[in-house]
Amino acid sequence: MLDRKTLGEFVHSEFTYGTLVHGHCLAGEFDEAKRLVAEFKDTGMSPGSLVVLHNLMLKGFSEARLVDEAKSHLHRMDCKPNSVSYNTLIDALCSSGRIQEAREELQAMAKRGVAPNRVTYNAMATGLGKAGLLDEAFELMGVMESAGFALTAVTFNPVVEFLCKSGKPDEACKVMETMLLRNIEPNILTLNLILHAFCKAARPEEALGMTDIMVEMGFCPTIVTFNALLELFCNTDQMDSAAELLETMARSKCKPNFVTYSIMVQKFAEMGRMVEARAFLEQLVVCGYAPNLLVCNAYVAGLCKTGEMDLASRFLTVMAEEGCRANTATYNSLVEGFCKLGRMDEAERVLEEMIAEGSLPDSTTYSVLIQGLCSAGQIVHAFMVMLQVTRAVESARPDPATFVKLIEKLCELGEMDRAALVLERMGDEHEEFRVCQVLISNSQH
């Protein structure tokens, strides 16, 4: 880190000290940054230059999310803060959801004769909008206009975002209509927020309508737009529409990204269409992206669903080589796949590997394994596994349906004592307990 020792007798200047203060803040060396600010004051530079260094400190604290330190620093500044000082703190407070404190700083700003500007009002509007304090946000917009500042999409977008995240795209549309009536043009973010909300609500007609509005307003749909629509089509099983959308993306020269390929891999894998899933996975890799755990798990689950267990097992090796570590969900897919094929030795081998690799089996793991053993006719072995897991790990306790199936199988074999023991382990808090009691009772007669 550059400091005064290496500078020697370099000429004192606001730029020199500013560079040093900024650098120390980036490095998290706030005590050294403070020392430099104090040293700068002793050089006799103007208060205007001193406040610039204090503002760099405030920015450093804020970017490091040290909001309390930023607030304390502003209150202890040895020169009068300016609008940048207050804007930095107000924005940090709003970003942290500390709206009341932001209000207080806005009031303190006025008391000290520092006039709020567009940045101040937009920061407050953003905080209020994201906090869902919409009435107050609109009231602030009125104050902003009265102060001579024109409202823009930046001012309204936090309100639109809150409504969209709250599942209220129709109300968000009304806000956009209000903007248009007041000759405030929405930007691409406004439109994408509403489009994404319609996609989340599975309303394709309205979502596509938003793309028409985008084009009419002179905006080109972005990759965010296309991915939202693509996910909608996939979630509603409109794969022909998804394919057409990919062609539209190609024509518009909008290059697919990691999210695009991920959506397609996951959907085709879910549908068991592994040829298509594999093709999109290969494209993802060719484009320089590394599949994440979500994508890998979807692909493994798809292979297991279609009975391609050898491929699924080999893919785990590929995952490990690429630094993508399998988790409980990954192993559960393999256990289920082997169980469905009646390959119980391999299912139990996966369970052993799972534990050895540090992934803890859960309720799904043992439910699938025990039901698989029952289906394979290995009833006594299923009974032993049930005893072991219910004795050892409560979090891995099989689901009630698994208890019912095992009790049924034990009753069919006439293993009434074992069936009663499994019932005891089940616990009477489940609705199925009474059904199993009757089943055991009927089997004894």
pLDDT at 2: 47
- The answer to whether 361 and 355 have CB atoms below 8 angstroms apart is yes
pLDDT tens-digit map of 106-134: 999 989 999 999 999 999 999 998 898 99
Which position has the token pair 């009833």? 379
What would the mean pLDDT of 358-383 be, rounded to a whole number?
94
CA–CA distance, 395 with 181 (Å, rounded to integer): 57
pLDDT at 9: 45
pLDDT at 40: 83
pLDDT at 391: 84
Q: Where in the chain are all domains bearing CATH 1.25.40? A: 361-445
pLDDT tens-digit map of 48-107: 778 888 999 899 999 999 999 999 999 998 889 999 999 999 999 999 999 999 999 999
User: Which pair of tokens denotes residue 328?
Assistant: 């409980």
pLDDT tens-digit map of 241-273: 898 898 888 888 888 999 999 999 999 999 999
CA–CA distance, 415 with 110 (Å, rounded to integer): 82
Residue type, 122: N
- The answer to whether 426 and 433 have CB atoms below 8 angstroms apart is yes
* Percent of the chain whose predicted confidence (pLDDT) is above 90: 64
pLDDT at 327: 95
Average pLDDT, the chain: 89
Residue 337: CB partners within 8 Å, gap ≥ 6?
A: 303, 304, 305, 307, 309, 312
| Phi, psi dihedrals of residue 207, rounded to the nearest 5° | -65, -45
pLDDT at 13 over 80: no
pLDDT at 337 over 90: yes
What would the mean pLDDT of 313-333 be, rounded to a whole number?
93
Terminal-residue alpha carbon distance, the chain:
86
Residue 7: CB partners within 8 Å, gap ≥ 6?
A: 16
CATH of domain 361-445: 1.25.40
